[in-house]
Structure 1
Amino acid sequence: MKAIISYTQKIPVYRVILGILLVVLSIYGFVSTRTFNGVFTFILAFVLLRTDGSEIDLESKTYRKTISVLGIKIGKWNPLPKVDYISVFATNENITVRALSAETTNTFPVIHLNLFYDNNKKITVYETKNQEDAFDVASHIADALLIDLLDATEKGDFKWVDKNKLRDEGIVVHTD
């Protein structure tokens, strides 16, 4: 597996299309009209195309929170604190869609991988919708950092995972 594990929130397609359109309009604004128009539309495009995420480098044991615009990531690498364990945590992601006077919120299940340190401070290092992928990446991180793995996919029922069984056989076996 890779030494750098990346996770970036997805941007809805309509925001990408609108953001690229605004970048084109801002270039037109810089070239043909007033500078203020170009700056304003460029800032608006940046807001639409911006997304947050994180990266963890398992070899150098560093991490960073990232801001990404069209795949270009910016963020300062920090040393990874002494991590106690990694958890595979199932939760829901809410996406609100607004149109004129109507609004709806859609809920989707997601799985977060969180590194816990210093009495339950956490760093979210990965997000996926696939439980098998989540445990595969969590096992890789746990082995690289020499930490335990916690299965928190069932609400209120947190169990430690046997990393050897997961790595060797690909099955999640809980330990007592």
Structure 2
Amino acid sequence: MINQQLEKLIYKSERPFWHFLLATPLYFFTISMLLKMLHLFYEGRIMNGLKFSLAVFFMFVCAAGLTFTKKVYTNSEIKDVRFNFTLFNIALCKDIVFKKVEYVSVYKNHSDRDFEVQIWLSETKKKSVSTHLNSQSAFNLAFKIANGLQVNLLDATEKGNFKWMEKENF
């Protein structure tokens, strides 16, 4: 409980308004299809009910993908970072916690042409925590995590030319 008091929110994903506009009809159809699915099960048409349950699941996943929120909390004293995913303030999964973080890096994956934010737990153990299409959004998240944890940030976007970022640039 004391550790949660020392945690600070450093990042919260912001959804554009048009995501909610797209998700509204998806949620509406999900609810109406759920009612139809229950009606089919009640009538004893199990196969049709199962087909509808697959459609309901697909529609809900699409709508949730447009509206879920990602929050990142850091604790600089014990070098922990915690990722929290919610849908309308309901937890989607158990929080993902990384303990004793040594440093953060931004890596360019040349095969996929995207940028990964990686958390290094030791010299050889790393975890990719986020993937971005451009370097600016990847560095934005990496800067916030590194600053919140008070650890160093490594720029690994150029192959063979890794550089430590200065804290003044955060």
TM-score (normalizing by structure 2)? 0.59
Compared with structure 1, are the counterparts of its residues 48 and 139 closer, same or farther at alpha carbon in structure 2 (3 Å cutoff)? closer
Equivalent position of 1:23 in the other structure: 30
Counterpart in 1 of 2:4?
none
Runs of 4+ in 1 over 4 A off after TM superposition: 16-22, 46-55, 68-73
More strand by share: 1
Instruction: Rate the CA distance shift 1:128–1:4 in 2: closer, same or farther, 3 A.
Output: same
Partner Cα separation in structure 1 for residue 24 and residue 110 of structure 2:
26
Contact 1:89 1:153 in 2 (8 A): yes
Which residue in the other structure is 1:80 paired with? 98
Choose 74-83 or 142-151, whichever is displaced more.
Answer: 74-83
1:5 alignment counterpart: 11
Identity of aligned residues (%): 24
Q: Which residue of 2 aligns with 1:34?
A: 41
CA–CA separation in structure 2 for the residues paired with 1:144 and 1:69: 24
Shift of 1:78: 4.8
Report the number of matched residues: 145
* Structure with more helix by fraction: 2
Question: Of the candidates 64, 69, 85, which is equivalent to residue 83 of structure 2?
Answer: 64
Distance across 1 between alignment mates of 2:99 and 2:75: 14
Distance of 1:138 and 1:145 partners within structure 2? 11
* Contact residue 11 and residue 144 of structure 2 kept, 8 A: no
Gaps of 5+ in 2: 1-7
How far off is 1:134 after superposition? 2.9
Q: What pairs up with 1:38-49 in 2 under 5 angstroms? A: 38-46=52-60, 48=62
Q: Are the counterparts in 2 of residues 25 and 41 from structure 1 also a CA contact under 8 Å?
A: no
TM-score (norm 1): 0.58
Counterpart in 1 of 2:146?
Answer: 142
Structure 1, unaligned runs of 5 or more: 95-108, 168-176
